[in-house]
Amino acid sequence: MRGNLYIVSAPSGSGKTTLLQHLLRSFKDLKFSVSFTTRKARAGEQSGADYFFTDRPTFLSMVDRGDFLEWAEFNGHLYGTARSFVETHLDSGRDVILDIDVQGARQVKSKIKEAVAIFVLPPSFAELERRLKARMLEPDDVIRRRLEIAKSEILFYRDYDYIIVNDVLENSILLLESIVRSGRAAPWRQQSRIEEIIASFGGIA
Ligand code: ADP
Ligand code: 5GP
Mean pLDDT, residues 89-104 taken together? 97
Q: Give the whole-angstrom CA distance, residue 32 versus residue 60.
A: 23
| Cα separation, 135 vs 122, whole angstroms | 14
pLDDT at 103: 97
Phi, psi of 59 (to 5 degrees): -60, -45
Q: Among the atoms of ligand 1, which is closest to the Cα of residue 12?
A: 4
**pLDDT tier, 204 (very low <50, low <70, confident <90, very high otherwise):** low
pLDDT higher at 192 or 36: 36
CATH number of 5-186: 3.40.50.300
Q: Quote the percentage of the chain above a pLDDT of 70.
A: 99
d(CA 88, CA 65): 18
Mean pLDDT, to the nearest integer, of 143-165? 95
Decide: 129 in ligand 1 pocket, CB within 6 A. no
Average pLDDT over residues 135-157: 91
Q: Cα(197) to centroid of ligand 2, in Å?
A: 43
Reported confidence tier of residue 153, pLDDT bands at 50, 70, 90: very high
Closest-lying ligand 1 atom to the alpha carbon of residue 14? 3
Helices (H), 78-200: 83-91, 102-111, 125-135, 140-153, 169-183, 191-200
Count Cα atoms within 13 angstroms, Cβ side, for 130: 7
Q: How does the average pLDDT of the chain come out, rounded? A: 95
Closest ligand (CA of 19)? 1
Please give the pLDDT value at position 137: 74
Summarised one tens digit per residue, pLDDT across range 33-90 is: 999 999 999 888 999 999 999 999 999 999 999 999 999 999 899 999 999 999 999 9
Q: Half-sphere exposure of residue 51, counting CA atoms within 13 Å on the CB side?
A: 21
Instruction: Give the confidence band of 135 by pLDDT, cuts at 50, 70, 90.
Output: confident
Residue 35 CA: nearest ligand 2 atom is: 19
- If you measure from the C-alpha of residue 195 to the centroid of ligand 1, how many angstroms do you get, rounded to a whole number? 43
Question: What are residue 140's phi and psi, to 5 degrees?
Answer: -55, -40
3-state SS, residue 166: coil
Q: What is the pLDDT of residue 174?
A: 98
CA contacts within 13 A on the Cβ side of 144: 3
Q: Is the pTM of this model over 0.85?
A: yes
pLDDT digit string, tens, across residues 103-131 = 999 999 999 999 999 999 999 999 999 99
Q: Which helix (H) or strand (E) holds 36?
A: strand 35-37
Domain segments of the chain: what residues? 5-186
Please work out whether the CB of residue 131 comes within 6 Å of at least one atom of ligand 1.
yes
Q: How far apart are CA 201 and CA 153, in angstroms?
A: 52
Contacts of 140 (CB under 8 A, 6+ apart): none
- Is residue 12 helix, strand or coil? coil
Helix or strand holding residue 66 (H, E): none
Task: Say which residues have a Cβ less than 8 Å from residue 116's Cβ, sequence separation at least 6.
Answer: 4, 5, 6, 7, 161, 162, 179, 183
Query: Are the CB atoms for 25 and 89 separated by under 8 Å?
Result: no
